[in-house]
Amino acid sequence: MFLILIGGIYFFLHVGYSLLFYYFIILLFYYFIILLFYYFIYLIYLMFVPSIIILALLTCVDSVPGVFLASSVSIKTFGF
pLDDT in tens, 18-35: 777 777 788 888 888 888
Domain boundaries, the chain: 2-78
Amino acid type, 54: I
Q: What is the pLDDT of residues 46-64, one digit of tens each?
A: 777 777 677 666 666 555 5
pLDDT at residue 80 in the model: 47
Tell me the helix, strand and coil percentages in the chain, rounded to 5: 90, 0, 10
pLDDT of residue 65: 54
pTM score: 0.38
DSSP string, 32-62: HHHHHHHHHHHHHHHHHHHHHHHHHHHHHS-
